[in-house]
Structure 1
Amino acid sequence: MKTIKSKALIASLDSGLYGAKNFGESLALIFNENVKFDKFLIRKQVESIQSFSNKYVHQRSCQPYKVFPTSKEYDLKPYLKEMPGSEKTNLFNILAKRRSGRAYSPYSISLNELALLCHYSYGISGEDFNKESEATLRFRTVPSAGALYPLELYVYLNTSVLPKGIYHYSPNKSVLEFIKEEDYMEYLRENLVAEPFVDLQHCSCVFFITSFFERVLIKYGDRGYRFILQEVGFLTQNISLLAEFLELGSCVLGSYVDDNINQILSADGTFETVQNVIVIGKNKEVQDDNVTSK
């Protein structure tokens, strides 16, 4: 395994804020060194990818879905027909306006809003039948290495038309699976580093992104972890832009007690683990402005 100790020694006289002197033992940098490619490793991975083209393996990899077979389901498909639109929804305007919203007014998020957030962030957007493997490949709204789609999307509903609790988004059925009915707000306030910077108590919902490592590592090896993190970023940006489109505030949380969050999501913490958290709510200033203008 590569290390960067030699680089740290060379930079030992560096008195600046950055450099190997301060980060020479960083696990992140050591990981990065160990997943770099050279021409030999690229050739080796090509051979590995070719062996992945087995008909059975391809059919199995085209079904990257976690299921909760006994859970109650809420169908989102009827609510996808209600697409709001105005001159404010131009993509360039949405990109320019996107900001982190941290202060919320109490607001019950609708099924229409939940359907749009789930479907257009990580839902199925098309499909293609592969004659060789006799498998149907279903595409999502984000790029994914090898179209393996290693992520799962969960949401805790705090104030909504649906009961409080944890839901899992099933993209192949376009439903929310109700997996745990419980008020987790105090639990989340203890295990998410949010308050006082983010008004967690008055948010409408909290999205959780998890990843299944084996879906990608089986084909791409350790470098696949890079691909997983890239996809987490794509999905996070989709949710953030959709929230802006729906005139909702969103804020990404980078600090949380991982395994405590995994526990309420029914993720084992080893092969599936939480990778990102996004808080959604009605921006306080937007809600207050609407009330004032009436």
Structure 2
Amino acid sequence: MLHFNLERTMKTRAIKNPKTLISHIEGSLQNPENIGNLCALLYHENSKQSRFSLFKQGEEIGKFSNPYILERAAQPYKCFPTTKFFSMQEYKGMNKHTKDIFNVIKSRRSGRDYEKYSISLNELYQILYYSYGINNEIPIKGGEGVWSYRTVPSGGALYPLELYLYLNYSALPKGIYHYRPDKNNIELINENDHLPELRKIIFAEPMVNLPNCSCIIFISSVFQRTLMKYGERGYRFILQEVGFVSQNLSLICEAIGLSSCIIGSFFDDNINNLIKADGILESIQSVIVIGKKSENETES
């Protein structure tokens, strides 16, 4: 995973005077005493469970036995009904994979240098379906419809994440797409060459060769889906799920001969605008760059 501030790193490395360096460290997060002031630790403390919080949470969880709530919660799909879409249904069940999962895990590496490669719709199907697609459905007890399950664990099977992608090199038009797991298609929500803008708001270069990548995956979370049942604790579940999906994406790319690199540094709200997320109830969580591994790529 790549997350760095190049300018800050260069300034830090340029400090040679020991006293200046010590002063710099004392005022930075490299000093453990400053870690305690982070909001991340405050959130972690407030999301810890106690007997009281479990009792309170139990009341909210109990409300999910209502058939009406179950029917609504069973449809965690964002959709763009007026957009052009590209079906991937023909590829369902087509691919017969023989690679051993243990060898795939062992050989997985973050790939940062790519050769120009037009990713196929079949490859996109494999990446999206096996990362976060629907793999089982059961009828809702006492209600109508079905409860769908995905390829990753999810707190309460509520599946708060949405997957978007920017296609840079493919047979499809360049632009931002949204994955519809219930329809097994991708919706074109923002057609344009967004690479120049993405290079300004994703901090990956020069380490990652963005111009040559085949596509970029964006993982967002719709907070209400999980928080309405689990409250503060639910945000932990959401972040866990982002990790599950990111790892799936990375392993699938490895299995089908592609490279990937998870990026942790980007301008959140600029990406939110591109994927049409409001940045409050839905926001970007992770970015994964995908491409064909270059012969010049070194092990990392």
Indicate the SS of the match to 2:82. coil
Which position in structure 2 is the counterpart of 1:76?
88
1:102 is aligned to 2:112: yes
The amino acid of 1:127's aligned partner reads: E
1:159 CA displacement: 0.2
- Contact 1:157–1:163 (CA under 8 A) maintained in structure 2: yes
Task: Compare 71-80 and 131-140 and name the one that shifted more.
Answer: 131-140
Output the CA distance in 2 between the equivalents of 1:117 and 1:17. 37
Which position in structure 2 is the counterpart of 1:54?
66
1:53 CA displacement: 1.9
Output the CA distance in 2 between the equivalents of 1:131 and 1:85. 35
Output the CA distance in 2 between the equivalents of 1:128 and 1:54. 17
Which position in structure 1 is the counterpart of 2:232?
222
Q: Which consecutive residues of structure 2, in runs of 5 or more, have no partner in the other structure?
A: 1-28
1:208 is aligned to 2:218: yes
Which position in structure 2 is the counterpart of 1:190?
200
Output the CA distance in 2 between the equivalents of 1:286 and 1:176. 32
The amino acid of 2:164's aligned partner reads: Y
- Contact 1:55–1:133 (CA under 8 A) maintained in structure 2: yes
Indicate the SS of the match to 1:180. strand
- Contact 1:58–1:135 (CA under 8 A) maintained in structure 2: no
The amino acid of 2:92's aligned partner reads: L
The amino acid of 2:44's aligned partner reads: N
The amino acid of 1:117's aligned partner reads: I
The amino acid of 1:40's aligned partner reads: F
Which position in structure 2 is the counterpart of 1:156?
166
The amino acid of 2:283's aligned partner reads: T
- Contact 1:82–1:112 (CA under 8 A) maintained in structure 2: no
Which position in structure 2 is the counterpart of 1:28?
40
1:67 is aligned to 2:79: yes
The amino acid of 2:87's aligned partner reads: D
1:115 to 125, 141, 144: 125
Indicate the SS of the match to 1:159. coil
TM-score by length of 2: 0.87
1:269 is aligned to 2:279: yes
1:22 CA displacement: 2.2
- The alpha-carbon distance between structure 1 residues 276 and 17, as it changes in their structure 2 partners (threshold 3 A), is closer
1:77 CA displacement: 1.2
TM-score by length of 1: 0.89
Output the CA distance in 1 between the equivalents of 2:110 and 2:76. 31
Which position in structure 1 is the counterpart of 2:51?
39
1:254 is aligned to 2:264: yes
- Contact 1:80–1:112 (CA under 8 A) maintained in structure 2: no
1:85 CA displacement: 3.5
Indicate the SS of the match to 1:115. helix
- After superposition, residues 270-285 of structure 1 pair within 5 angstroms as 270-285=280-295
1:92 to 102, 118, 132: 102
Structure with greater contact order relative to length (CA < 8 Å, sep ≥ 6) = 2
- After superposition, residues 115-194 of structure 1 pair within 5 angstroms as 115-194=125-204
Q: Which consecutive residues of structure 1, in runs of 5 or more, have no partner in the other structure?
A: 1-15, 288-294
RMSD between aligned residues: 1.7
